[in-house]
Each structure stands twice: as C-alpha cells, then as structure tokens.
Amino acid sequence: MVQNNNCSNKGLYSPIRRKVYNSDAGEAAFLLGGIGTGNVSVGARGDLRDWEIFNRPGKHNKLPYTFFAIWAKKDDGKPIVKKLESRLRPPYARAHGIMPEDAAGLPHLEESSMIGEYPFVWVEFRDSELPVHVTMEAFTPFIPLNADDSGIPGAIFRYRVKNKVNCRVDVSIAGSMGNVIGDGVGNPWNTTIDAGCKINEYRDTGDIRGLYYTASCLDKEAINYGNMALVTPDSHVSRKQNWLNKGWWDGIHDFWADFCEDGRLEAESTYEALNTGEKERYKVGSLCIHRTLMPGEEAVFEFYLTWYFPNRIRSWYEDDYRFGNTKTIRNYYSTLFKDAWDAAGYLHSNLERLEMYSREFHRALFTSTLPDYVIDALSSNITVLRSNTCFRVAGGHFLSYEGCSDANGCCEGNCTHVWNYAQTLAFLFPELERSMRSMEFNMETDEDGRMSFRSYTLLENYKRRDLHPAADGQMGTVIRLFRDWKLSGDDGFLASVWQNAVNALDFALKYWDKDGDSVLDSQQHNTYDIEFYGPNSLVNSIYLAALKAAAHMAEHLGDAKHAADYRDAYEKGSKRVDELLWNGEYYIQRIDDVNRYLYQYGKGCLSDQVFGQLLAHIAGIGYILPREHVRESIYSVYKYNFKRGLYGHNNVQRVYALNDESGVLLCTWPHGGRPRLPFVYSDEVWTGIEYQVAAHLIYEGFVAEGLEIVKAVRDRFDGYRRNPWNEYECGHHYVRSMASWGLLIALSGFKYDMAEGAIEFNPVINRSCFSSFWSTGKAWGIYRQTEDENGKPSRDIEVIYGSMEGISINKSKVAGEWYDNKHEASG
Amino acid sequence: MVQNNNCSNKGLYSPIRRKVYNSDAGEAAFLLGGIGTGNVSVGARGDLRDWEIFNRPGKHNKLPYTFFAIWAKKDDGKPIVKKLESRLRPPYARAHGIMPEDAAGLPHLEESSMIGEYPFVWVEFRDSELPVHVTMEAFTPFIPLNADDSGIPGAIFRYRVKNKVNCRVDVSIAGSMGNVIGDGVGNPWNTTIDAGCKINEYRDTGDIRGLYYTASCLDKEAINYGNMALVTPDSHVSRKQNWLNKGWWDGIHDFWADFCEDGRLEAESTYEALNTGEKERYKVGSLCIHRTLMPGEEAVFEFYLTWYFPNRIRSWYEDDYRFGNTKTIRNYYSTLFKDAWDAAGYLHSNLERLEMYSREFHRALFTSTLPDYVIDALSSNITVLRSNTCFRVAGGHFLSYEGCSDANGCCEGNCTHVWNYAQTLAFLFPELERSMRSMEFNMETDEDGRMSFRSYTLLENYKRRDLHPAADGQMGTVIRLFRDWKLSGDDGFLASVWQNAVNALDFALKYWDKDGDSVLDSQQHNTYDIEFYGPNSLVNSIYLAALKAAAHMAEHLGDAKHAADYRDAYEKGSKRVDELLWNGEYYIQRIDDVNRYLYQYGKGCLSDQVFGQLLAHIAGIGYILPREHVRESIYSVYKYNFKRGLYGHNNVQRVYALNDESGVLLCTWPHGGRPRLPFVYSDEVWTGIEYQVAAHLIYEGFVAEGLEIVKAVRDRFDGYRRNPWNEYECGHHYVRSMASWGLLIALSGFKYDMAEGAIEFNPVINRSCFSSFWSTGKAWGIYRQTEDENGKPSRDIEVIYGSMEGISINKSKVAGEWYDNKHEASG
C-alpha cells in the first residue's frame, strides 16, 4: 500500500483539518436520517432540532420534552444532574418565555463543540462539575452503492462517558421523548389527536428494549399514521413510560425529581390530589441506562431512535391532498420495515456491518489529501440526498424537489435543469440516478421528444403543469445518460431509454434551432426561470456536449445513422457557436437589441457560459469547443465574476452572499452592455454554480483559482452565518449544491468507463502525496499515489465495497474522453 | 429653580448614562405608534421592522420594499448611493436567500448605533464613503394626560444630514414603501387582494405632499379596509408613485437604477419589451427629498408615516370573527381622523405643540438624577401602553390583553390580577385607567359582587367565559379605585362605582372567607393561574389593603356603616393574618398538607407575599400588617429569592432568565417544605414581580437591594439577549411589567391626594441632588431638590403640563398615607 507520509503541502492545497463548531455556532445543524426517511438534526450544543421525520421539511421544529440528561454521582458525593446539552446562547426572547417543552431551564453542561464529518457527528461536552467526561456520537448508516442500507429511518446516539475522578461514579443517562404520533409537529394539516389515544408502550424483545410510541386512533392508511421507537441494546435500564399528567407541566417536574433522586426512573408516577390542572397534550416517556464506572473507566450509553411514517401525499403539492384531489403513496422505506420497532431491530442486528461500511466511507473521504474545504464541500452536500429535498416511494423510485422551504418541498419533479449540476448521487448511488433517467426519458418525454423538465407522471398529479420545455435541462439529460451509462457499463439501461433520448435530442433541432444551423436560437427556457432568445453558450455548450455524447452512444448501440447525424450536427454546431459567440475573451449571447426581450444577458460574462463543457469533462466527452477559448472563457468567469467582498455590490435580487463575503456572481458586464433588466438572478451567488465554475477551472488547469472559489463558498457556511450542512438556493438543501462532487472528479483526474472496463486517475494536486475517495457504479474505495523524484507515480487502489474485477486502472485510454475530438490538443 | 450641579453619586445611585445599542444588538426594536394605533419598530441598524399596524401584533413582520435610501454626490464626484441602514449581521440564512422585498443586497452603511429614550429614538450612522454624516430621529408624539395626542396613528422620521467635506454635496433621501392595503401582512385572514385594485396616489395638499395608498376594492366596513400615507412637508421632492411592474423584481431594479442615476425619481417608468414575467403582488412607491448642502451645512429630511386601519374584530378572539360569530368594531383613533392623510395633516398642523410636549416629557424623565437603569425600567415599559397589548375602541374605552403572542393578543380582558401590578397608565393617563375601573365595577361585577376578572361585556363576546373569580384581582381593583380617586380627586367618579365596589368587596367576605374570621381561606384563584387553598398572605395582604382603602372611601362618601364594617374587618383580619402566617421571618401559606391540593406553596417564601402592602404604599394607604414584619418579609424575599446567576437553577417551567443572569424567583423554600408539585410558575422570573419587590424594598428602606434587582432585570434586556422595549411574560409587552412605574413613586417618596389637594415628595436617594418626573391626574412636571449641609431641603417644582392650582406641596400631611394606621411607627 502506498503510504502518504510525505504530505507537506501548504495553503490552498493542504490536506484536511477538522472543522470544529463551538456551541455558539447557532446555525450549525447536522442532519441524521436515511435517504427518503426524513431527518432530525444535531445542533452545536448537542441539542436535537429540526424534526423533519413527518414527510415534510420542518426547520425550527422541536419535539416536545425530547432531550437526553445525565446523572452522575461520585461514590460519596451529591449527584450532578444536567441536561446533555451545553448552555443556551442568546437571544433568549420568546413571546411567552422559553416553554417547558424545551426544558431550557434545567442545568446545562458548560460548553460543547461539534465536529460533523458525514455521516458522523460528534459533540464533545465540557463541564467542571461533572465527574465524567462525555462525548456524543450520532450517525445514520451511509454506504454508497447500497441505497437501502443508506435509507434506514433512524439514527444511533452514543454517549461515551469516561470517569475522570479518583473514585467510583454511578452514571445514568436518560433519553426523553414526547409522543407526537398523529400530531401537528410538522405535519401539513396541523392535526392534533387526542392524547388519550396515544400509547407509550415499553417493550423488551431480548436484543433491544425501550419505548414504542403509537396512536391507537389512527388507521394505517391515515396520512398522519406512524410510530416511533427509542430503544437501547443495553440491559441496565429503567424507564418511565408515561410521565405524570395531572395537569400543567407536572410531567417534567415529576420526571426531573425522580431522575435527580437516584438516577433511576420509576415506571409510573402516582400522585393523588383533590384538584387537577389543564392536561398536557403530549404523552412523554423516558428511557434510562445506568452504569457504574471505576476511575478511568469508560462506557458507552447507546440509544437508537427510529421512526415510521409510511404515508406521504401522492403529489408534489400539499394542496392537492388538502382539497381532496389526491390520496397518499407509501414511502419506500415503509416497504422495507414493518414499523419503527422493526427498523430498530434491523439496525441492531446489522449494526456491525452497517457501521463498518459507514466508517470506511468516512475514512475514504476524510483521510484524503484533498484540501479540507474541498472535502467539506463534497461531504456536507451529501446531506441533500438524505434531506427532505429527496424522497423515495414504493417501488423505489427516487424523487426530489429542488430544495425545501421551511415546511414544504419547493419546486417539484426532479427538475432537469437543476439536476444538470448535481454529481453526488450519480457517483454514490448511480442506481437511483439512473431511475431518474428512466423517468425522464420513458415517462416524461412525449412522442415528439418534448420533455417535461419536471417529472409529474409517477405521482399522477391530477393536474400536470404545462411547462415550456427547458433547453438546458433537456439537453443535459442526454449528457447525464452518457455519464450514467459509463459509470454503470449497463448497456441494457442505455438501450431501454435510447429511442426516447433520440427523440428528446431531435426535438432540439426542430424546436430550438429555427434556422437549421445546429445552433439553438429560439425561445430557450432555462435554469434561470426565464427564456433566453438567440444563440447563447449556456444552452449551446450543453447541446454540443449532448450531441457528442449521443453520437458515441449511437455508435455503441450500432445506430450508425444517428451517430453520423449527431457527429455532423456537433461539428457544424461547435464551429458555428464559436464563430457567433466568442468575443475574444469569453462567450456571449448573440441578440440584436438586448432590451427587446426582458431578462437577457447579451454581452455579459456568464458564469455558466461553458457549463456544457464542464459536463463533458465530467462525463468524459472531451472538448466541445476550442480548448483555448474554453480555457479563456472559464478564466474570464474567475476574473470578472468572482468577487472578493461584496460591500459595494448592488443586488436587488435574492441575497446569498453579502458584506465581507466572497462569491461568484451569475453574470457581470465587464465591458458594459448590461441590459436595463437583465435575467432575474444575474446578480446572485449560487453555490451550485460556484462549484461548477471551480471544478471547470480545475479541469482547465486553473487549480488555485478553482480552490479559491471553493474556500470562499465554505467560508460562508461557517455555522454562524449559515448551516454548513445546508447550502440553500431556491430552498434548503438545494440539489444544485451537489455540483460540489465534481470537484473530486476534477481534482483526482478521475475517468471511468465501465462499458469499456477502465478507470484512470490523474490527480492535479498533491501528486506526490495523494489520497482520495473514488467510486463507480461497481465499487468504491481509496486511491493513493506517491511520486518518485522523476515524477513517476506509484499507485495503489483500495477497493472497500463492491468489486473491480475486470476493470483496468490507468492501463489503457478511457474511451469517450478523447473520442474523436478534433479540438483537443494534448491530454 | 434648584440647580442640580452637585451630583457626584456613584454606583447604584448614579444618574443616567445613555444606553447605546450597536448594530449587532439584533433584539433591540423601538416601537413607534400611538396608544391603540399599533406600531412599527426601529431596529439598531436603522431598519423598520415588526409592522404591527394592522390591528394585531406582528413580530418579525416586514413590509415589502419599505426602506429609506440616501444618494449623496460631491460637487464633482461620483454619487454614493446606499440603503439608510447599517450592514446586516449574521445569521444570513433563509430558505430562499434573503428575498428582494428586503432589499438586503443593496450597499448598506458601515455602522450604526441606536439610542432609544421614550418616546424618541435616534440612530446614528457611520460610513466612510458618504460625504455626509446622517442621524435618524423618529418618534410618535407622547404627552401624559393627553391620550388623544398620544394616540396618533403615525410616526415622524427625520434624517439629519450634515456635509462633512469641503465642497458642495447634493443629497437625496428616498423613502420607499409597498402598498399592502388589504393584504395578509399581519392581518389574521392572510387575504391578498388583487394588485390591480391597489392605488398609489400622489397628493400635494399645499402643506404636505407624498404618497397615499388605498385599495379600491375594499368596502369601508371591511376588516382589512385601510390606507397609509408617506408624506413630507418638504417642497424639494420627486417621486415614483408606481414602481415598474413588468414582472419579477423589475420594480426595485428600475427604482434603484433611477435613484442611482441622479438622485431624482421619474414619476413613472416605462419599458417596452416583447415578453413579461410574473407580476409582483405589491404596488410600490417612493418619495424623495433633495437638498444641496454647502460645507458644514446641515439639513433635515423629514417624512411622516401614517396609517389608518379603522376596523378591528369585535371580540378578544380572532376565531369569533373567523367563524362568523362577531363583526367589527372601530378603533378609537379612526373616530378622530378621517384617514391616514388626515392624520398626517394633523401631525403637521400641530407638530410644534406635539413635539414640544413630547420633548418636555423626555426632558422631565431623562434629566432625572435617578439611576439610568431605573429610568430605563420606567420608560421602556411605557411601550406596553402603545403596543398591541392595549387598544381603544370607538367611545374611547381602553382595553388590553395581558400581552401579545407574535401575531395575536394573548389573554383577554383587562385582566384584573395582572393590572394589579401595573402603575404606568394610572400615573400617565389616569383617565384611561379610570375607564377600566368603570368597566370592572359597572359592567363586569354581578349583583352579588362576583367580578369577572376579565372584561368581556364591552366587546359583546358571543360566549363569555365563566371564570372562577380571582381573589387577588378583585380585591386589588378596590385598591386601584382608591389610588385612581386620589390621583384624580374625582369624587363623582368614586361615587359612580361605589355601590359595585361595595358589592365586590362584600363578595370576598361571603365567598372566600368561609369561617368569618376576616381572613380569606377558601379556593382562591389568583394571578398564578391556579387556586390557592387556605390562608395566604398574597391574597390576604391585598384584601387587607382593599378593606382599609374601602373604609377610607366609605367615610369620604359619608357611608359610615361600611366605613365601620371595613375598619373592623381590616383590624381583625390584619391581626389574624399576622398570627396565622408569620413564621418569624416571612409570611407563609397555612395549609395542613401542602400536597393535598396541587400547586400550593405552603412554607415557601413567596415573592408576592406582601404585595398588598406595596399596593397600599403606592396608593397611600399605609401599613396593613406590622411594619417590622413587613420589612423582614420583603427582605427575606430579597435574601432568598433574588438569585445572582442561574446556572444551577432547576426550572422545568417557563424560562425568563438563565445562565449568568440574575433575577427574583417567584418562590423558594429556604427551610424545606417544597410541595411535590408547587404552583406552576413558582420557579420562574417575572419582571413585573421583580419590580414590585424592588419598589417595596425601597419603601421599606432597602434601597440598594431594590436597585440591585432593577439593575439585574434591565441587564437582561440588553438588546442581544432580549429587546429593551419588550418585557414579556405571558406575551410580549406584558402589562405586569408596568409595575416598574412604582419605582419612581417609591424613590421620589411621592404622595398625592387630589381629593385633599396635596402632594408630597420625600426622595430616598440623591436627596442633595434630586430631580425627577412627577405626575398626578391634574398635571405633570419635574421635581428638584437640593439639601444644605444640615440636610434641609430646597425644593422646586416645575409644572410642565396641566395646572397644580390649589394643590399644596410638602405643606401638610397627605391624607390616607397614615390614615388611622396603628401599625405604623414614624413617617
């Protein structure tokens, strides 16, 4: 194995440093939960927040009375009892004070710091009174190429407790949780079911034991039907399955008194009085683990939290359900598990394997010699896949909004022009990515080749929106087909969608190329939610890459006619685009009067101007425009659009970066010619576009420039300004942010062709000390490289998951990359 | 006039220092708006926030595209154009970025700091690029004893701009505002009316000119009917009365370009294009004032903002209206003005007088030699009166919730047991306070003397809640009657409610005193929202003060029978209460088994234990329990209940103070005996109770202790943790916080008896250098005192408003105070 003990890189290229979020990093929230299961997040104080397990987003949602607490008593001492969260940070104001449901008035631990390295989060607590040292670890299993085991509706919470004094310490940790089954905590109808119908059951099934929450008055088909479990494999437990509920806040009062007394919980509290108060609507329960620790001894207090809310709306729009126009559809995960207890059982029985591969993935990513902020950008945006942005329905189909509003999905239907940018899913769960291609080509493309850029068919929306087709999205889908085929080597998959792909591509010639010059020029709806008129390099670079990819695919499938047609169109188009749009420095939009139509960019320097070229690089299609012009174009984007500091920026649009922050604007007009009303997002800063520009700069040899942009992005997501695990645009956890995975591909010079059975690495930084994660549709692992003094590399490939049997590595040329590319100079 | 040039007090007693809120004090929000008109707040960045002018609270509400901006151009320079707010502070995250409606992406001024001294707020801006120095001043006229002129639906905004360079500078300031008439910005039905029906009119009525916003599709009776005006008396203006609205965010785009160009606005923008986008729902307009400033020259850019939303729900509950069970009722202010333009005209025509008295009030309060945090506590809570907590309806009746949720009033009906604590209104607008007495006694008291502790009758609620009568509230109302009579000297008022007051008092003897020993002992509903059982000194101290006050009032009215009865009951009760409840250190609750009923306090040290005594002091009723016991009681509260730091506090209830903060707990059990479930708020910290305890400590000679508490309270409202102008409890701007005005009465040793024609001052701090505001129902002004070396005071009384004709000052004893008080030692 190649040893990377020779890494002395500095500055932008230096390998990973751990990013630590102190307890005042109030925006930091690390999402737990599987693909399509919803989430609960861990904050930098060790708090549980943003309960989004009810089939919808739920930013700021809290679960009442849901927290962990510790009781620790030295041999002969007084017990120290505290909530297992560090102290609250200002502001403290709420209309009615902080309500008892938050348990904010209990003693808290003095300090905490959080490290989140996907899929693991660790919170280290510090407290001068506690006789023990406590660290929390939490994760939901995450295994690339294994979507089911990455889609478990639950999370593991482990409190690692170490005795730090010179005598025996008795320690208890109690987890409490409100039973909100059927309630309005984040469900769209704000129903509240009668507390009397909620059931907190205590179960012990031998291997695990704990609380199981149901609501007897809910039918299995009900939209708010479900159950939850808080369990432990530990056998040293006590519990209070139903908190006292005479009235008011008696429950927490009684729980806390009981817990403080001896660190053990009575199963039921009794209290007789002549009066009662207003009853709590929640049934709350607690599960407590006890241990005795000798000096220096350490123990792990392990809890599993699982949930099961099987029914979601069979629509992209809540109103469809609200007004009775649709019913429900089952979550995919609910077809794998019977209920939350079953999911907990599965977690327990398979934990060794699930955890091993999750840790291996973490090791592969985080022992990389790529710069810390790059790994941060890659790993943090995996979150999107497991946020409420994405979901899976019975049958396994993968669906996604573009992002999430605080309480709703936002912008429906696997939007093709947004997914254009995303690379993460394709490389980690290519099977799910391919399911989108199947939907796009086989369900969303009409016979004439018009593709709906939003997928409506699967959810049988009662009213499919009649959208103008999106030129960039439709053409990008063809490139993504090529990529996904090369990643999987699955010819059957390619063949299954080919005819519709041909139709979709041919549609462009008929619909967008009015004058038949192989340059798209008519009304082109695109990812800026407006229409471009006339030739422009955003749409045309994608079109050219699609043509070139399609020519290759046609040839592979023996479809010589299309291969020739597409090759011809590509060659003609490429030449013509360059003639029409190259201004000597970058590619522009060709339009006579830029103000004749609203929302154009004309002579502007568009950050996405050679986006199709980046897609071609990542897919291995090679150059689609003259290499030197491409290089100069992307450098112009860096030169003109990357702003260091935005104090003077005049932006009347949406604000994603401001003040002292740096970022890439969507467009600038360095030589004048700004339209009176340019396209409506032109002055904005989108991380997804910043990543595509950065990856492209790296591909073109401007490595430092690309990395500078990545660093600027991640500096904005510092836990104080924004949540590191939430790059938002038109919604939280925005799909476009998954463009970041392209950085890995670019930096490691990774090429793949499973159809031909070859992969190749050609790192562009830290070549003498390189280590990085890699993946294809067949396997994933770690690639390591050192170089001798002559620059001759020693390579090592570690296959962690899957098999690379029959796949050559850096042995022969990877097909496609320089497939018939007359523009390309040398590799 | 006495000169106070000899003030060298230090520490707790030192006179006022200005409190400055820097731009990062994100919680600080200073409320503008009149009594019963709703509010808009100014934040520490100079931003307008919390638009609560639509007959309901609206914390975090923003008005779209509503901001001021400055354009400043040096003689030969480039214009500097910025939003007149300092830079945003983190966190910056929003699901969709910060939306264009907030105009957050425009260049902002570098820094700002805010000073708010009720009723004035000043924001000073700092910017290194601007050639001018800018300060904003804003206020709504506030004149004690003149409720109408303190109830104008509007505010004045003045930007004071000074040329700080050596050449001529052209300056424009533009105010922009979205027309949201009829919209869902804070109205309870979230209606959105068609933008087409909104009208932005430009008016010039000679004295004022500007924008007048209406919506033609709304009937005058509609709940969301209304209008707004943004005007100026300045004649150097331009305007854009309708922003461009082709689609998307064109309006702000076009406005900003127009403003940047030459600091002048085109009245209408035109733009022809072949396509359009999705239209904005708002019609936005801007009004711009221009001036030219020579070096060193200063000019004031003055805007008036007024509003008129006449119709509010004729109920305490929005659901009553939502479900068609009630209609609307008119706001009182809408009977004074025809519309928002009329209000602006009134402001303009009367500004000199309105401003003069507002400034005089400010001077009287803020030139005081009372400690800064005391003035802060007094003045900041005046806000409650002009927040949405309080309102006035046609006829002038003053009504209030207890406080405000973020978007609704919370806890209806002039709650008697909460108003027990409040002193501000009684001393500043005694007429409004008396209107509550009239309602309580003449509308809410049944023939048998049972008083509803919430006023329902006036709003004709379709379903009046049948509440258990509140013993503390009902008895406190009798004390407040005494206070209000003494403040006004209005015998007619006293006579008009007397019979019902007698009934209300007699009800106590029948209903709460089961064994006829003049000690209330049966089920006593009280301000902790639970029932006390058995004798306790909270309810009984109030009862005793009510008896003593009633005896005095009866005698004054020639009702000898009641005078004798009440005197007897008082004397008997006072002796018995002391025997039953004094534990040698403080007064307790007498109850055999403290756990027999939920929510008692038993042997606890209750912060409110001698609350009735404080009310007696403020009203001038004298001691109602043995003075030494009272002194020891209130000192015990300080000793046991005032906590310096709350890190170790175990509070499962609501949280109003935490971590390093200090505060007074509602109850503690210093000698054990804590019930298993004590009353539900027992571990909380309420500012209203802290102020009553502080004022009482001062009355009993523990001045430093009282001030220490006040300082601790206001340290918690520092602009970062909480809003200085929002002391919340069960809702924002909570009525109980107006207990703070009692500090002024206590510290200045103020006694008043308008019935006998006498007032008296006997300051307890800074006697050699004392200056303070004072008020009665007849006049208000400043009292000043110095002392010669022998302690002989020189006094000066300045009458600013009203007349003190016939009123003696420190000449004869004020009646009532030591009226027949056998417990009292020396004055």
- CA A363-A364-A367 angle, 5° bins: 65
- Transcribe B37-102 into DSSP letters: T-EEEEETTS-EEEEE-SSS--TT---TT-EEEEEEEETTSPPEEEEEEEPP-S----BTBB-GGG
Q: Which residues contact A272 (CB under 8 A, 6 or more apart)?
A: none
- Helix B560-581 and helix B537-556: axis angle, to 10°? 160
State whether A105 and B647 contact (CB < 8 Å): no
How many angstroms away from the CA of B619 is the closest CA of chain A?
30
Question: By three-state DSSP, how is residue A575 classified?
Answer: helix
How many angstroms away from the CA of B523 is the closest CA of chain A?
11
The minimal CB distance from A246 to the residues B277, B598, B659 is found for: B598
Chain B residues inside the 8 Å CB shell of A647 = 87, 107
Tell how far CA B32 is from the center of its chain.
11
Taking the CB of residue B212, how many other CB atoms lie within 10 A of it? Answer: 24
Q: What is the structure's pLDDT at A568?
A: 96
The reply to whether A105 touches chain B by the CB within 8 Å rule is yes
State whether A92 and B658 contact (CB < 8 Å): yes
How many angstroms away from the CA of A752 is the closest CA of chain B?
36
State whether B107 and A647 contact (CB < 8 Å): yes
Are the C-beta atoms of A677 and B253 separated by less than 8 Å? Answer: yes
Sign of CA dihedral A633, A634, A635, A641: positive
**Residue B821 vs residue A797, higher pLDDT:** A797
Confidence band, pLDDT 50/70/90 cuts, at residue B322: confident
State whether A100 and B653 contact (CB < 8 Å): yes
The reply to whether B402 touches chain A by the CB within 8 Å rule is no
State whether A654 and B97 contact (CB < 8 Å): yes
d(CA B445, CA B586): 34
d(CA A755, CA A692): 26
State whether B656 and A273 contact (CB < 8 Å): no
How many angstroms away from the CA of B466 is the closest CA of chain A?
16
pLDDT reading at B693 higher than 80: yes
Q: Which of A805, A787, A775, A14 is nearest to A364 (CA)?
A: A775
Are the C-beta atoms of A203 and A341 separated by less than 8 Å? Answer: yes
The minimal CB distance from A96 to the residues B103, B246, B731 is found for: B731
d(CA A97, CA A749): 55
State whether A720 and B91 contact (CB < 8 Å): yes
The reply to whether A467 touches chain B by the CB within 8 Å rule is no
Rounded alpha-carbon distances, angstroms, from residue A707 to A15, A385, A662, A691, A765: 12, 24, 13, 9, 11
d(CA A513, CA A474): 14
Question: By three-state DSSP, how is residue B117 classified?
Answer: strand
Question: By three-state DSSP, how is residue A463 classified?
Answer: coil
With a cut of 0.85, is the ipTM above it? yes
Q: Which of residues 589-618 of A touch B (CB under 8 A)?
A: 595-599
pLDDT in tens, B497-521: 999 999 999 999 999 998 999 999 9
Report the C-alpha dihedral over residues A348, A350, A352, A358, rounded to 10 degrees. -110
The minimal CB distance from B273 to the residues A92, A249, A598 is found for: A598
| Phi, psi angles (nearest 5°) of residue A96 | -120, 30
State whether A107 and B250 contact (CB < 8 Å): no
State whether A655 and B59 contact (CB < 8 Å): no
Q: What is the mean pLDDT of each run of 10 residues along chain A (827 residues)?
A: 47 74 98 98 98 94 95 95 98 96 97 97 98 98 98 98 97 97 65 84 97 95 94 98 93 97 95 83 94 98 98 90 87 98 98 98 95 96 98 96 95 97 98 97 96 92 76 98 97 98 96 94 97 98 98 96 97 98 98 96 98 98 97 98 97 98 98 97 98 98 98 98 98 98 98 94 94 97 93 93 93 50 36
Which of B86, B269, B652, B729 to probe the A interface (max A CBs under 10 A)? Answer: B652
- Transcribe B386-443 into DSSP letters: HSTTEEEBTT--EEE-SEE-SSSEES-S--HHHHTT--HHHHH-HHHHHHHHHHHHHT
Report the C-alpha dihedral over residues A575, A581, A583, A586, rounded to 10 degrees. -90
The reply to whether A91 touches chain B by the CB within 8 Å rule is yes
pLDDT reading at B283 higher than 70: yes
The reply to whether A292 touches chain B by the CB within 8 Å rule is no
Alpha helices in B717-781 (DSSP H): 741-747
Q: Which two tokens stand for residue B804?
A: 């003190």
**β-pair partners for B802:** B779
| Phi, psi angles (nearest 5°) of residue A580 | -75, -40
Q: What is the structure's pLDDT at B155?
A: 98
Q: What is the structure's pLDDT at B279?
A: 76
The reply to whether B408 touches chain A by the CB within 8 Å rule is no
The minimal CB distance from A273 to the residues B596, B659, B720 is found for: B596
Sign of CA dihedral B207, B211, B216, B217: negative
How many angstroms away from the CA of A153 is the closest CA of chain B?
24
State whether B91 and A677 contact (CB < 8 Å): no
Q: What is the structure's pLDDT at A706?
A: 98
pLDDT in tens, B128-181: 999 999 999 999 999 999 999 999 999 999 999 999 999 999 999 999 999 999
Cis preceding linkage at A469, omega within 30? no
B466, with CB counted inside 10 A (0-12, 13-18, 19+), is: exposed
State whether B530 and A277 contact (CB < 8 Å): yes
d(CA B386, CA B536): 35
Q: Which of residues 251-290 of B touch A (CB under 8 A)?
A: 252-254, 256-257, 260, 271, 273-277
B825, with CB counted inside 10 A (0-12, 13-18, 19+), is: exposed
The minimal CB distance from A405 to the residues B59, B95, B256 is found for: B95
Q: Which of B60, B730, B198, B664 is nearest to B411 (CA)?
A: B730
Residue of A nearest to B251 (CA): A652
Per-position b or e across A570-591, b if 16+ CB within 10 A of its CB: bbebbbbbbebbbeebbbbbbb
State whether B721 and A93 contact (CB < 8 Å): yes
The reply to whether B24 touches chain A by the CB within 8 Å rule is no
Q: Which two tokens stand for residue A417?
A: 């022009």
Q: Which two tokens stand for residue B525?
A: 């509903």
The reply to whether A92 touches chain B by the CB within 8 Å rule is yes
The minimal CB distance from A26 to the residues B91, B247, B254 is found for: B91
d(CA A738, CA A402): 11
Q: What is the structure's pLDDT at A462?
A: 57
**β-pair partners for A169:** A74, A293
pLDDT in tens, A668-717: 999 999 999 999 999 999 999 999 999 999 999 999 999 999 999 999 99
The minimal CB distance from A96 to the residues B97, B254, B730 is found for: B730
The minimal CB distance from A92 to the residues B97, B598, B721 is found for: B721
Chain B residues inside the 8 Å CB shell of A674 = none
pLDDT reading at B115 higher than 90: yes
State whether B271 and A104 contact (CB < 8 Å): no
